[in-house]
Structure 1
Amino acid sequence: MKKRIAVVAIAALMAGCLTNVGTVSAAEPTEITFWHYMSEDKEGKFVNEAIEEFNNSQDEVHVTAQYLPREELMKQYTIGVVSGELPDCGMVDNPDHASYASMGVFEDITDLYNSWDEADFMEGSINSCYYDDKLYGLPWGNNCLGLFYNKSMLEEAGVEVPTTWSELEAACEKLTTDTCKGLAISAIGNEEGTFQYMPWLLSAGGSVDNLTSDESKESMTYLKDLMDKGYISKECINWTQADAEKQFASGQAAMMINGPWQFSGLSDDAPDLEYGVAKVPKADDGDYASVLGGENVAICKGANVEASWKFLTWITSKEESAKICEAIGRYSPRADVDVQEMYKDDPLNATFAEILPTAESRGPSPVWPEISEAIYSAEQEVLSGQKDVDTAMSDAQAKIDALDK
C-alpha cells in the first residue's frame, strides 16, 4: 500500500513539473557598462550602432554605453580606481594604456587572450596593451597622420603637393594670403599637440629620449619658423585637431596635418571640397614619419570579466573590427584584415593605409602622460615665444629625466 502511494505521489510531482515547464522565464542577460569618448554626433553614433548589433545578436550580455569627453573619461578612471566605481569595460587612448594599467584600472587578461583562438593583431598594436609583460586590453582601432591639401588652391597657386620640408615651406609661401594660411596644425597643450608634433620630431631624426639633440631641436625650430613667417596661425596653440579641420574646411588653410577621422567632418562641413591626402612632408635629409594613434579597449578592475570578455572579443573580431573601423575613420589593428585591399579603390583611405605600417607608437610607457606633457609644454612655450628652442627643449628633457620610469 505504501509503495503504491509513493508511486502515485512521484507521478503527480512529475506531472506538475512538466506542466510548469512552459511557464519558466528565460534568464535576464547580464548587464555591463562600456565607457567611450567617441563624440555622439560623429564617431559615437557608429559605436552605438555596433553595441546595438551586439545586444541583438545574443541574449546573454547586454551592454549599455556611456559617452564621456576624453579628458573627463581619463579623470574618472583615476577617481574610479580609488572609489571602486569603474565601468565593466572601457576605451583608452593607446599611449595612455600602460599608465592606467600601472594604476590598477584594468584587469590582467593575459590568460584569456592566450586561450582565444581568434587572437590575431599587428605587433605594434597589441604591444600598446602590455604593461610589465602582462596584457591589459585589446587594440580596437588605429590611425595615423597625413597631409590634407586643397586641390583647387594648390592648382591655382601652381604648387605641387609638397614632399619635403623645403617644398612645404615654399608651398606655404605661395598659398598664404590675407585670409588663408598655408598650413593648419594643432599645437594645443594636451596629447593632441604631442601627437601632431611627433612626425616632425621623428622625421628629423629626433627622439623623445633625447629632446636636446640637434635633430630634435631642428624639428621645433622648423615649426617656429613657419609660424614666424605667417604660414601657420599663432592660434594653433589653442586649436584641437577638430579646430584645424574647421580651418581647412572653411578655406582658411590650404593644407592641414590631420587624420582619417576627419573625413566625416569634412563631408559635413565642406561637402563640395576637393582635397587629397599625402604623407606628412619629410625633413630634407630625413625619412617620412607618422605616429600611431587610436584606441584600445579593456576590462576594468572588479568588472564582470566573463561578460566583458564576450563583448570585447566580439567588437574586436575580424568582421566587426573591419566594419566599425571603416565607419569611424580608423584602420583595423588585426593582422588578418587586409586594410590596403579594403581601400584599393579609395585614394584617401589608401594613402593612410600605406602610411600606417610605418607609423611609430608613443611609448608604451607607464609615465607617457608626463612625457607627453613635457613635450607639448615645450612646443607651446616655443610657439608662443615664451622660451627659445634650446631652453624649452632642455627644460622638457630635464622633466623627462626626472621621471621614475
Structure 2
Amino acid sequence: MSALSSNWDRRSVLRSAAGLAALGPLAACGSNNGRSGGGSSGKELVQYFHAYGEAGTEQAVKRYAKAYDKAEVTTQWITGSDFESKLFASLLTKNAPDVFEFHPQIQLVRSGQVADLSDIVDPVEDDFNPADIASHTVDGKIYGVRMIDDPQFFFYRPSLLQKAGVEVPTTLDELIEAAAKLTTGKVKGLFIGNDLHAVINPMIWSAGADTLDGKNRIAYHTEGVKEGLKKMRSLFTSGHLLLDAPADYWDPSAIDQGLCAIQFCGMWAMPQMQKTLGDDIGVFPFPKVTDSGKPSVYNGGWSMFVNAKGRNVDLAKEYVKWLWIDQKKYQEDWSLSYGFHIPPRSSLAASADKLKSGLPAEGVKLFGEYGHFDNIGWTQSMITALEDVFADCVRKDGDPEAALDKADVTVNRELKKLFG
C-alpha cells in the first residue's frame, strides 16, 4: 500500500466548517458513533479522525486510545471525502463525538461547540510553536491542541531541471518559464493540484499580501495579488500545467510516476517520494510573485478539539491532555513514523532526529523562514469567495479587479457578523 494512497482530499477538510446550521439535513449521517454502551461507570469517550493516507495511522491512533486507562475510548476512522459533513452532522445529534480532530475555525468557538482548553494548554504553552497557539486563540482563550504541523511547498526532480538547464525558481515568472522548459512529451512541467485551491493562499502571501490584517480587515485586495492572478492565468493556459492527475496535490503519485517535474505537495509525502525517487528530489517555497513579495510556505496540520456540548467534557479534556500534552512518546510517533510532520512542541521538534538532515531538514528550514499559519477568523465563506476569484480569473479570463470586488462583498459581510 502506498504511504499516501488514501483518496481523501486534505484540502477539502482544511477548508470546511461552513456553519453547523447548514448541515442540519445531514444529521442522520452521524448516528453511528461507535459507542459500546457498556458499563455502568459511563467512562466512555468517542473520538473522530479523518482517514489519513499514511499506512499505520489508524492502528496508531487506536493503540494510543487503548493505552488510556481512565475511559474506554472508541475511534471513528472516517474514510472518503465527506469527513467534515459527517463530523458536523454528528455534532448536531446526541451521538456527537466527545473529541474530534479539525482545524481552528472561529465558528466553532462562536457557536459554543468547542471547549476552552486554556487550563490544560497554559502550563505548557511556552513549549508550543507560538504561531500554533495564536491560530487557536480567541479573546485570550485557547481552543484546540495542535497535533502536527504540515508545511507545504514545491517538490522537484533535480535531474530533470539539470537536463533542461533550469535553475530552481525564485519568482513566479521563473516558475512559469521552468514549467515550459520542463514540459516534454507526456511529462508536464508543473502540478499544483487538480482544482488549484492549494496555492491560493501561498500566492497571496508571496505577493506581499495576506487574507486578513491584524485588525481583521481585508488584506488580499492589492495590486500584487491582481498581478499574481494574471500570472496564474498565463500558467493555466500555457499547456505546461498538469490538470488531470489521478490523485490531487496531497498525494505524491504525480511526481513519483513521472507525470510532472515539479509538484506542490506536503512534507508528509517526503518518505514516499524518497522511497520512489531516492535522492532525486528537492524542495523550494512558493516563489515571490512581485518584486516586493517574499517566498511563502503554507502550514497545514491538524488539531484536537473537545466537544463543549458533549456528555463528558471534563473527561474528554483529561484524555486530550493525557494524549496530546503528556504522552510525548505518542506525539513523537504520530509526527515521525507515518510520513513526516513537524511536532508543534518545540522540545519534540528539537529532538526529532529524522528531521535534522537532508530533505526533511530543508523542509524544516523553509517552514521556519517562510511559514504562514491559518487565521482562525478566515471562514469557509471567505475561503469560497477567493476560490471563486481563482475560478473566474485563472480558469476563466475574468477581470481580477472585478472579481476581487465581488469577493470583498462576501468577506466584509462575514467580518461584520463575526467582529462587528
Do the two structures share a fold, i.e. TM-score over 0.5? yes
Q: Does 1:38 align with 2:41?
A: no
CA shift in 2, pair 1:339/1:395, >3 Å: farther
Shift of 1:216: 1.2
Alignment partner of 2:204 out of 175, 187, 201:
201
Residue type of the alignment partner of 1:312: V
Write the distance in 1 (CA, Å) between the matches of 2:107 and 2:150. 20
TM-score, length-scaled by structure 2:
0.78
Alignment partner of 1:280 out of 286, 290, 294:
286
Residue type of the alignment partner of 1:359: G
Shift of 1:370: 1.1
Shift of 1:264: 4.7
Q: Does 1:233 align with 2:235?
A: no
Aligned to 2:10: none
Write the distance in 1 (CA, Å) between the matches of 2:247 and 2:222. 28
RMSD: 2.9
Instruction: Kindly provide the CA deviation profile for residues 236-259 of structure 1, in whole angstroms up to 9, marking residues without a partner as x.
Output: 8x973236x332222111001111
Write the distance in 2 (CA, Å) between the matches of 1:194 and 1:153. 26
Residue type of the alignment partner of 1:153: L
Aligned to 2:372: 360
Instruction: Kindly provide the CA deviation profile for residues 323-347 of structure 1, in whole angstroms up to 9, marking residues without a partner as x.
Output: 2111243211112223486346532
Write the distance in 2 (CA, Å) between the matches of 1:51 and 1:69. 15
Write the distance in 2 (CA, Å) between the matches of 1:54 and 1:346. 32
Aligned to 1:123: 130
Write the distance in 2 (CA, Å) between the matches of 1:111 and 1:337. 21
CA shift in 2, pair 1:76/1:395, >3 Å: same
Q: Does 1:400 align with 2:411?
A: yes
Q: Which structure shows the higher helix fraction?
A: 1
Aligned to 2:303: 296
Instruction: Kindly provide the CA deviation profile for residues 259-289 of structure 1, in whole angstroms up to 9, marking residues without a partner as x.
Output: 1122355467x45682112222223512121
Write the distance in 2 (CA, Å) between the matches of 1:165 and 1:249. 23
Aligned to 2:27: none
Aligned to 1:75: 85
Aligned to 1:19: none
CA shift in 2, pair 1:338/1:80, >3 Å: closer
Give the match's secondary structure for 2:115: coil
CA contact (8 A) 1:176 1:231 kept: yes
Write the distance in 2 (CA, Å) between the matches of 1:254 and 1:292. 23
Query: 1:350-389 alignment to 2 at 5 Å?
Result: 350-357=361-368, 358-365=370-377, 368-385=379-396, 387-389=398-400
Instruction: Kindly provide the CA deviation profile for residues 163-202 of structure 1, in whole angstroms up to 9, marking residues without a partner as x.
Output: 22233222222101231211100262xxxx5442211111
Write the distance in 1 (CA, Å) between the matches of 2:382 and 2:266. 22
Aligned to 1:52: 63
CA contact (8 A) 1:211 1:396 kept: no
Residue type of the alignment partner of 1:215: G
Q: Does 1:310 align with 2:318?
A: yes
CA shift in 2, pair 1:137/1:241, >3 Å: same
CA contact (8 A) 1:227 1:383 kept: yes
Alignment partner of 1:143 out of 137, 150, 167:
150
CA shift in 2, pair 1:101/1:75, >3 Å: farther
Write the distance in 2 (CA, Å) between the matches of 1:98 and 1:257. 28
TM-score, length-scaled by structure 1:
0.81
Residue type of the alignment partner of 1:111: D
CA shift in 2, pair 1:224/1:242, >3 Å: same
Write the distance in 1 (CA, Å) between the matches of 2:154 and 2:277. 19
Residue type of the alignment partner of 1:280: F
Which of the two has higher C-alpha Rg? Answer: 1
CA contact (8 A) 1:146 1:278 kept: yes
What 5-or-longer segments of structure 2 have no aligned partner?
1-38, 212-217
Number of equivalent positions? 366
Shift of 1:33: 1.2
Write the distance in 1 (CA, Å) between the matches of 2:107 and 2:80. 15
Shift of 1:99: 2.3
% of aligned pairs identical? 21
Shift of 1:234: 4.4
Write the distance in 2 (CA, Å) between the matches of 1:379 and 1:359. 22
Q: Does 1:259 align with 2:266?
A: yes
CA shift in 2, pair 1:389/1:181, >3 Å: farther
Residue type of the alignment partner of 2:112: G
Alignment partner of 2:188 out of 174, 181, 187:
181
Alignment partner of 1:106 out of 105, 114, 130:
114
Give the match's secondary structure for 1:364: coil
Residue type of the alignment partner of 1:383: V
CA contact (8 A) 2:206 2:290 kept: no
